[in-house]
Structure 1
Amino acid sequence: MLPWSAEFAGRLEERVVSSEVLRGNPLNDPHERPVWVYLPPGYDDDPDRRYPAVYVIQGFTGHITMWRNRMPFRQPFPETADAVFARGEAPPAIVVYVDAWTSYGGSQFLDSPGTGRYHTYLCDEVVPWVDAQYRTLPTPAHRAITGKSSGGYGAMITPMLRPDLFGALATHAGDALFEYCYLGDFPAAVRHLRAYDGDIGRWWDDFNSRVSFTKPEDANLLEFIGYTAAYSARDDGTPELPFDTVTGVLKPEVWQRWLDLDPVRMVPRYAEALRSQRAVWIDGGTRDEWYLDVGAQAFRQALLDNGVDETVIHFELFDAAHGGIDYRYPLSLAWLCERIAPA
């Protein structure tokens, strides 16, 4: 296992998309975004051949250059994905790495007055741009989306909202069953906010005035400001937390806005879209700190209860916590590619 980058059998093109929908976004984040497009071995040999596409999205705080991060004795996903095709373990496909980072750490791949129109950016700008620039098979039957954690959340909800674009998905430990993955962290946030008079905006100003993650509350409160900006921002973009920051008492109407965006609860409303999916990969580690293995089980059962054919679902629980499960990504990639390949 070499401790530096390996030579690709295919090639990775690093491009930039200038987004109109992200221009002037609430956080003044860049509207020009990097997009990496992996082209499989043989792409240049047959100019008439077209390929299915798999879109890859990241977890909370993820940005595209993190795909270069190299853990000891492991290769980053772009290399292990390339190896899938180099070894002939799956039909060739184009793999698109999308950046949806925000100053709060992420967008949950939703349109929100708190962060910007990242769902629209992905669906109405990136997908058409890729189809115009590369030889894709531009139909949902040949287009999949995959991600882990918040990226797994995005991979679950995007085909629900846009089955006209995506016909397959893979979610690795995706955010689901919100009362288990989020609710348990609410009391810690209340405690942390005592030092800021219950005002998460004061914490945010402090966070931006110093080296990040140098206070114990930073990770917890960053998640809450990011998730709140995605799920329950006010019309003016201000994040509205789903609990009273002094007493900790839930605000039912705000918490309901979060629950309405829980993939498990969304399934009945988007059952027809989900029944149209060709392939659904669901997995999670049995030691996941946010109980996303439980969320994975609930999501699978909701699919079955709403008429999704069991034969299109791959469900697996494995011995792991939330982190360090990147070795799962090439498994789902190969599985998806088999199912979105042309007949």
Structure 2
Amino acid sequence: MKTAILPALLLGFALFITFPAKSQTASPKKGTAERIKVHGKGLEGNLSGDSPDRDVSVYLPPSYKTDKNRRYPVLYLLHGFTDNDAQWYGFTKHWINLPEVVDKAFADPAVREMIIVTPNAYTRFFGSFYSNSVTTGNWEDYVAYELVSYIDSHYRTIATAASRGLTGHSMGGYGTMRIGQKHPEIFSSIYLLSPCCMNANLNQNRNEAALARIEAIQSDSALVKADFGVKAAFATAAAWTPNPKKPPFYIDLPSKDAQTQAGLMAKMAANAPLAMIDQYIPNLKKLHAIAFDAGSKDVGIAASNKVLNSVLNDYQIKHTYEEYDGDHINRIGERIEKKVLQFFSENLSFEQTKRR
């Protein structure tokens, strides 16, 4: 009997070595990504002619479709200038595959599952800057009120501020700070990834050639072919210096005859989060957690992060700040996987509550 058992044991051991258990080689469980339409009442009638029916990408974690009684926190992720949601979620050519990044993060038992939502803020001007404007529509309100309301009514969310986070990259980092510091009753924790446009820029001596290139644009076709800086000038003007009586773009550009206009520059500067931050200190103190980072080679943005760090320290507001070895985009996927999702896993509330 023993001689029959021994070969069987040896065979089983050999098979174990040759074919390891699935848990040793299994790839991360996959969540699902879907793209829906969410109407924005406050986006109706925008002078740019952009549709108020916006694409929105939604990542549902691996357990969402199997654990039918479970509710989830929601992380709202805002994309950057000239990006759109599809480029982040793999629905089109992309520079980051967010679902793949998130699946890898959730494979770590220390990182808890959540829903992730990204609205398509690509506009006629290549980005909304998540601001309220008659020219591009009320994007700030769309994110804070209309989108949140829709997601809470159509998905199994934990519909409390404690279970909502807000993050974004570049223009999206700007939007995160702009919206987050105004709405602690909606979002409890924020994380800024390389946030742009934080400082008030009152420089009256901008390059005349650059200003001339901006003023030379007279049509959408010319704007499409323009360089990044020209596009950004039009987008920020559409967000912060709209003019309903000035077709075809319905904006006031910050210069005339290659000379900056002080009044318009002041309007634009007033929209910088670091210019308005002192008004929102009580709100920032209500937030449960604040974090921000940037690559050391992303010089201007890293510098503005240092200022934000200093201001929050002066007001004794707890936060996390990091400058890492990188540029504006080369490590964003890694930061989301290793830092952002860990941050929200630790700071959002996962307490199961019934929908009110």
2:228 to 219, 232, 256: 219
* Superposition CA RMSD, Å: 2.4
* Map of 1:319 onto structure 2: 325
Answer yes or no: is 1:187 the counterpart of 2:173: no
2:313 to 279, 304, 309: 304
* Map of 2:222 onto structure 1: 207
Q: Distance in 1 between matches of 2:46 and 2:265?
A: 25
2:237 to 222, 228, 239: 228
* Map of 1:3 onto structure 2: none
Q: Distance in 2 between matches of 1:131 and 1:88?
A: 26
Q: Secondary structure at the match of 2:42?
A: coil
Q: Distance in 1 between matches of 2:200 and 2:46?
A: 30
* Map of 1:340 onto structure 2: 348
* TM-score, with length taken from structure 1: 0.85
Structure 1 stretch displaced more, 321-330 or 255-264: 321-330
After the TM superposition, list the runs of 4 or more consecutive aligned residues in structure 1 that deviate by more than 6 angstroms: none
For residues 54-133 of structure 1, the aligned pairs below 5 Å read 54-67=75-88, 68=90, 69-71=93-95, 76-133=97-154
2:290 to 274, 280, 283: 280
Alpha-carbon distance, 1:284 to partner: 0.8
Q: 2:270–2:276: 8 Å Cα contact kept in structure 1? A: yes
CA deviations over 1:252-282 (Å, ceiling 9, x no partner): 2222212221111221101111111111111
Q: 1:271–1:307: 8 Å Cα contact kept in structure 2? A: no
**Structure 1 residues 65 and 245: CA distance shift in structure 2, 3 A:** farther
For residues 244-263 of structure 1, the aligned pairs below 5 Å read 244-246=256-258, 248=259, 250-263=260-273
Q: 2:163–2:188: 8 Å Cα contact kept in structure 1? A: yes
In the comparison of the two structures, how many residue pairs are matched?
317
CA deviations over 1:51-101 (Å, ceiling 9, x no partner): 111001111111111112445xxx622210122113324111111121111
Alignment-mate amino acid for residue 199 of structure 1: E
**Structure 1 residues 254 and 64: CA distance shift in structure 2, 3 A:** same
* TM-score, with length taken from structure 2: 0.82
* Map of 1:267 onto structure 2: 277
Q: 1:15–1:34: 8 Å Cα contact kept in structure 2? A: yes
**Structure 1 residues 33 and 305: CA distance shift in structure 2, 3 A:** same
Q: Secondary structure at the match of 2:43?
A: coil
Q: 1:9–1:41: 8 Å Cα contact kept in structure 2? A: yes
1:173 to 171, 181, 194: 194
Q: Distance in 1 between matches of 2:128 and 2:106?
A: 31
Q: 1:52–1:337: 8 Å Cα contact kept in structure 2? A: no
* Map of 2:301 onto structure 1: 292
* Map of 1:329 onto structure 2: 336
Alignment-mate amino acid for residue 14 of structure 1: R
Alpha-carbon distance, 1:116 to partner: 1.1
Q: 2:72–2:113: 8 Å Cα contact kept in structure 1? A: yes
Q: 2:28–2:107: 8 Å Cα contact kept in structure 1? A: no
Which of the two has higher C-alpha Rg? 2
Q: 1:114–1:236: 8 Å Cα contact kept in structure 2? A: no
Q: 2:47–2:244: 8 Å Cα contact kept in structure 1? A: no
Q: Secondary structure at the match of 2:290?
A: strand
Q: 1:287–1:321: 8 Å Cα contact kept in structure 2? A: yes
CA deviations over 1:97-154 (Å, ceiling 9, x no partner): 2111111011110111221111121122110000011111111111011111110000
Q: 1:264–1:299: 8 Å Cα contact kept in structure 2? A: yes
- Could you tell me the percent identity over the aligned residues? 26
Q: Distance in 2 between matches of 1:85 and 1:121?
A: 29
Q: Distance in 1 between matches of 2:37 and 2:268?
A: 32
2:64 to 43, 50, 57: 43
- Structure 2 segments unaligned to the other structure (5+ residues): 1-26, 352-356
**Structure 1 residues 9 and 252: CA distance shift in structure 2, 3 A:** same
* Map of 1:241 onto structure 2: 253
Alpha-carbon distance, 1:27 to partner: 0.9
